[in-house]
Amino acid sequence: MRFDIVTLFPDFFSSPLRSGLLGKALDKQIATVQLTNPRDFTTDKHRKVDDQPYGGGVGMVMKPEPIVAAVESLPLLPRRQVLLTTPQGQVMTQALFRDWAISYDQLIVLCGHYEGIDERVLNIVDCEISLGDFVLTGGEIPALTLLNGVIRLLPGTVGKPESILCDSFEAGLLDYPHYTRPPEFRGWLVPAILRSGNHAAIAAWRRAQMIERTKQRRPDLYEKWRSQSEPEP
C-alpha cells in the first residue's frame, strides 16, 4: 500500500518511520511512504506557502497552488483517497482504519497548518479527518497516527494477525485486562481464573470484563454496542 504525505515538515516523520513495527513493515515493503513538501512547488523566490486571509483575521492561510501542484505531481493509483487533516474533519476510528486498509491502494494525506488551508483545496479532497475535538500545531501528528493505525492492519505487519481481532474497538468494546508473570506483585494478584487453565471460563471472564470496562469507561461506546448487539444472556 502506498502512502503519500504532503507536509511542510517531512523531517517530522524520519524517526517514527524507522521505529518498531512501522519501520519493519516499510523494510518489508508491506507499505511505502513518500513525503512531498508543498514548498518545492512554489514559484516565487521566497518559496511562500501561506498568505493573509481574505476578509481579514488573525493568522495565515496555506495557499492552494503549492498543495494542488504537489498532489498533481504524484503517481495516482486507481484505488486512492485524498485526505486532509483538520480539526473540522471526521474523527478517525478503528473502523475507518480498517476500511482504508481494505478498500484502498493509496492514501494521500494533506497536513494542515496555520489557520487552515484555502477552502478551494477541498475540490481535490475526498475526506477531512481529525484526531478529536482539539487543535494541534499541525497535521503531521494525525497523519502519523493514520500511518500507524492503517499499516498495522496490513497483512504481514503484525506477527499474529489474530491478536488484532481482540483489540479495543474491533468488536465495539474496549479490550479486557491483561496480566503476565509474576502471579503476585506487591500484593496485587493475577485473577485466579486466568491461572485456572479453563479456557472456556477464561473466555467468558474476558468477555464480561470487556462489557463492564466499556460500560464504566466509555458509556457512549457501550450504548452503541448494546443497541447493535444481541441481548446478553
**Catalytic residue (choose from 65, 115, 118, 128):** 115
78 is catalytic: no
**Catalytic residue (choose from 2, 10, 87, 118):** 87
Strands in the chain per DSSP E? 2-6, 32-36, 50-51, 61-62, 80-91, 106-111, 127-130, 184-185, 188-189
Helix-strand-coil split of the chain, %, nearest 5: 40, 20, 40
115 is catalytic: yes
Q: Give the three-state DSSP class for 15.
A: coil
**Catalytic residue (choose from 50, 66, 142, 152):** 152
167 is catalytic: yes
Q: Which residue has the cell 457501550?
A: 222
Sort residue 29 into left (φ over 0), alpha (ψ -120 to 50) or beta.
left
Q: Give the three-state DSSP class for 47.
A: coil
**Catalytic residue (choose from 167, 207, 213, 226):** 167
Catalytic residues: 87, 115, 152, 167
